């Protein structure tokens, strides 16, 4: 870009409209926000005048008409028109092409990671229970939380991704009791997680016949919470270590990492201080021997129990201690709990306790719920909760292995000469499951359909991956380096890419797409962008030759291909989806 070219087309347009409106106050400037028009035929960017009109005390259509008349075309803006309460603007195609292509290849924000925004975002996600295998029920929290974290980091936030392990409380005590009754050391050494899973199932069935087992488990948790160096404490440490080692396999395959692994046990010595803080706020009551906070005044009829009558703590106690600790350590703007929708009441109670205490932290606590994974029942034809025929949990590794095997068969049929086919099968198979999970709004249930998610022609991970691989292939044939930077477009004549407006306008929306995804904790917005970009570049390549074009046009189109490839890689990376260069 030359010195006269703006670094941000949307910012340039906002300033143009602000000048036309004579906007001077922060409130008026903030009211001028742009979004893509619902109908691209109306323009490239739209400004709804409602908020500014309210500040001015005028009718939105009149304000829109006044702005359109006052705004003058310049080197960036080709036209500004009014349509009811909206102002629609169209960019000059040469400016659009240079801004987008050079911005992507040069690594400008928002196409690349932004400078520090000063925001601190805490994300509590994945959080499996120790002594149980990593199963399909953990998938959604893991991939949604990881994607939200990557998006916020790209926008310049300081992110603290936390794996809040379920390593305390009654579930573990039940496992401990099962081991003491029926544990087999040889089976444990052969497959620790599977053996403990079988023991937990056995406990569940036996406890129905023998309620005394629950009393025994309660005694074990009291011994664990005593802080003494006893058998319970040693077993806890062993099972925690084994679990973390076993979980690392699925995390590695999903490309998921954590900044902190601080399970419930980490807050063992912080719960008394948390309880004292609740008591000092004057909201702690004793009800039938238990210490509770009543929430009727906030519309929640179920009281929040913080300590049972036997003196043991609960999830709420530990979550409260964790919230206080995270507040002190990370000074968060938001604390996001990526947990299934069935836990809605739990997090409503957590926020309500903080609100009753008068804690500002209450407004920073956010539950990020999600729906179930559904599988089709072949006998009834209905979509039901994903489970084995016996209703048992299905291990994630087994599902990932099946996805990879399915992709490997497709590769054998369609591209038997593909180099490193096993690695590509792993990338495409695992990514297909991740992409399928993130494709729809997180609150919706996800249909687990092998045929659909592995389709290379639908709105799927393989479809977007193939688009990126196709672009890589074009660059290889042209001898342009796959990692080519701004030098590829240094002399770009943007007018030569006037026929690529669909691709360019899609790419231009990347920054706004990420802002919406972060604000709404909604990775599907980024998934939708990736599908749209893949579709637009596929459509462009169907109609326009790259390598056979005359030299100047070929070079312009190669720069577009390189930029689209890079932004597809960035988008897929934010989702946790691999982007192989050959498929």
Whether the per-residue pLDDT at 387 is higher than 80: the answer is no
Cβ–Cβ contacts within 10 Å for residue 449, how many? 14
Distance CA 101, CA 1 (A): 10
Distance CA 142, CA 461 (A): 18
Predicted confidence at residue 392, as pLDDT, reads 58
Predicted confidence at residue 47, as pLDDT, reads 96
pLDDT tens sequence across 139-159 = 999 999 999 999 999 999 999
**122 φ, ψ to 5°?**
-100, 130
Q: How confident is the model at residue 354 (pLDDT cuts 50, 70, 90)?
A: very high
Predicted confidence at residue 57, as pLDDT, reads 95
**Model pTM score:** 0.92
Predicted confidence at residue 226, as pLDDT, reads 85
Q: Please give the structure tokens belonging to residue 329.
A: 């350590």
Q: Which of helix, strand or coil describes residue 545?
A: coil
Whether the per-residue pLDDT at 388 is higher than 70: the answer is no
Average pLDDT of 417-441?
A: 96
Whether the per-residue pLDDT at 529 is higher than 90: the answer is yes
Whether the per-residue pLDDT at 390 is higher than 60: the answer is no
Q: How confident is the model at residue 169 (pLDDT cuts 50, 70, 90)?
A: confident
CB 283 within 8 A of CB 353: yes
Q: How confident is the model at residue 193 (pLDDT cuts 50, 70, 90)?
A: confident
Predicted confidence at residue 2, as pLDDT, reads 42
Can you say whether residue 580 is alpha, beta or left, with left for phi > 0 and alpha for psi between -120 and 50 degrees? Answer: beta
Whether the per-residue pLDDT at 191 is higher than 80: the answer is yes
Q: Please give the structure tokens belonging to residue 312.
A: 């043991």
Name the DSSP letter for residue 296.
Answer: G
pLDDT tens sequence across 46-77 = 999 999 999 999 999 999 999 999 998 899 99
Predicted confidence at residue 293, as pLDDT, reads 98
Distance CA 517, CA 394 (A): 30
Whether the per-residue pLDDT at 461 is higher than 60: the answer is yes
**CATH class (in words) of the domain with range 396-575:** mainly alpha
Predicted confidence at residue 4, as pLDDT, reads 46
Every domain of the chain and the residues it spans: 9-91, 169-262, 396-575
Pairwise pLDDT comparison (225 vs 393), residue with the higher score: 225
Pairwise pLDDT comparison (453 vs 194), residue with the higher score: 453
- DSSP per residue, 466-532: HHHHHHHHHHHHHT--TT--GGGGTT--GGGGGGGHHHHHHHHTHHHHHHHHHHHT-THHHHHHHHH
For residue 546, how many C-alpha atoms fall within 13 Å in the half-sphere facing its CB?
25
Predicted confidence at residue 227, as pLDDT, reads 82
For residue 215, how many C-alpha atoms fall within 13 Å in the half-sphere facing its CB?
3
Distance CA 574, CA 465 (A): 14
Predicted confidence at residue 335, as pLDDT, reads 98
Mean pLDDT is lowest, of 34-38, 385-389, 430-434, for 385-389
pLDDT tens sequence across 85-128 = 999 999 999 999 999 999 999 999 999 999 999 999 999 999 99
Establish whether the linkage from the previous residue to 110 is cis, with ω within 30° of 0: yes
Average pLDDT of 397-417?
A: 95
- How buried is residue 247: exposed, middle or buried, by Cβ count under 10 Å (0-12/13-18/19+)? buried
Cβ–Cβ contacts within 10 Å for residue 160, how many? 19
Whether the per-residue pLDDT at 423 is higher than 90: the answer is yes
- DSSP per residue, 353-376: HHHHTT-GGGGTEEEE----EEEE
Q: How confident is the model at residue 494 (pLDDT cuts 50, 70, 90)?
A: very high
**305 φ, ψ to 5°?**
-85, 125
Whether the per-residue pLDDT at 135 is higher than 80: the answer is yes
CB 371 within 8 A of CB 443: yes
| Mean residue pLDDT across the chain | 93
Predicted confidence at residue 40, as pLDDT, reads 86
Whether the per-residue pLDDT at 518 is higher than 90: the answer is yes
Mean pLDDT is lowest, of 154-163, 310-319, 387-396, 500-509, for 387-396
Whether the per-residue pLDDT at 368 is higher than 50: the answer is yes
pLDDT tens sequence across 305-333 = 999 998 888 899 999 999 999 999 999 99
CATH number of 9-91: 3.30.1360.70
Cβ–Cβ contacts within 10 Å for residue 515, how many? 14
Whether the per-residue pLDDT at 521 is higher than 70: the answer is yes
Distance CA 19, CA 13 (A): 10
Predicted confidence at residue 376, as pLDDT, reads 87
């Amino acid at each position: 870009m030359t010195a006269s070219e703006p670094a941000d087309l949307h910012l340039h347009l906002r300033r143009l409209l602000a000048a036309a409106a004579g906007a001077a106050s922060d409130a008026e400037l903030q009211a001028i926000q742009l979004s893509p028009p619902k109908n691209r035929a109306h323009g490239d960017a739209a400004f709804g005048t409602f908020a500014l009109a309210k500040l001015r005390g005028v009718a939105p259509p009149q304000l829109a008409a006044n702005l359109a008349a006052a705004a003058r075309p310049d080197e960036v803006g080709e036209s500004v028109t009014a349509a009811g309460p909206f102002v629609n603007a169209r960019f000059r195609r040469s400016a659009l092409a240079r801004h987008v292509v050079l911005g992507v290849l040069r690594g400008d924000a928002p196409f690349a990671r932004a400078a520090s925004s000063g925001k601190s975002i805490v994300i509590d996600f994945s959080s499996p229970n120790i002594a149980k295998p990593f199963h399909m029920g953990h998938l959604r929290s893991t991939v949604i939380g990881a994607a939200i974290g990557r998006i916020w980091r790209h926008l310049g936030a300081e992110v603290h991704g936390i794996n809040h392990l379920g390593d305390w409380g009654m579930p573990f005590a039940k496992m401990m009791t099962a081991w003491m009754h029926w544990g087999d050391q040889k089976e444990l050494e052969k497959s620790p997680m599977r053996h403990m899973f079988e023991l937990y199932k056995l406990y569940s069935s036996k406890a129905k016949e023998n309620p005394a087992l629950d009393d025994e488990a309660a005694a074990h948790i009291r011994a664990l919470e005593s802080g003494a160096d006893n058998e319970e404490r040693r077993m806890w440490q062993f099972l925690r270590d084994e679990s973390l080692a076993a979980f690392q396999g699925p995390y590695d395959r999903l490309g998921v990492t954590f900044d902190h692994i601080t399970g419930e046990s980490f807050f063992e010595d912080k719960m008394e201080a948390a309880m004292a803080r609740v008591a000092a706020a004057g909201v702690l009551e004793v009800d039938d021997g238990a210490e509770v906070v009543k929430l009727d005044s906030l519309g929640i009829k179920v009281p929040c129990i913080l300590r049972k009558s036997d003196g043991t703590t609960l999830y709420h106690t530990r979550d409260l201690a964790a919230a206080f600790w995270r507040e002190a350590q990370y000074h968060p703007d938001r604390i996001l709990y990526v947990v299934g929708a069935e836990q809605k009441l739990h997090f409503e109670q957590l926020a309500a306790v903080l609100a009753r205490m008068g804690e500002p932290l209450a407004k920073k606590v956010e539950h990020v719920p999600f729906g179930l994974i559904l599988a089709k029942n072949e006998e009834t034809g209905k979509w039901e909760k994903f489970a084995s025929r016996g209703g048992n949990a299905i291990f994630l590794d087994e599902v990932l292995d099946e996805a990879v095997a399915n992709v490997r068969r497709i590769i054998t049929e369609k591209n038997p000469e593909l180099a490193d086919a096993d690695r590509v099968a792993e990338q495409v198979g695992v990514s297909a499951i991740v992409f399928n999970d993130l494709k729809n709004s997180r609150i919706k249930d996800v249909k687990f359909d092998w045929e659909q998610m592995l389709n290379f022609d639908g709105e799927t991970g393989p479809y977007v991956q193939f688009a990126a691989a196709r672009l890589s292939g074009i660059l290889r044939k042209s001898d342009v380096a796959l990692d080519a930077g701004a030098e590829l477009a240094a002399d770009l004549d943007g007018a030569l890419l006037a026929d690529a407006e669909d691709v360019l306008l899609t790419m231009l929306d990347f920054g706004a797409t990420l802002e919406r995804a972060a604000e709404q904790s909604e990775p599907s917005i980024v998934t939708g962008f990736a599908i749209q970009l893949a579709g637009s570049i596929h459509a462009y390549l169907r109609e326009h030759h790259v390598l056979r074009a005359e030299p100047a046009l070929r070079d312009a189109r190669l720069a577009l291909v390189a930029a689209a490839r890079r932004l597809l890689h960035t988008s897929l990376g934010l989702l946790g989806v691999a982007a192989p260069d050959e498929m």
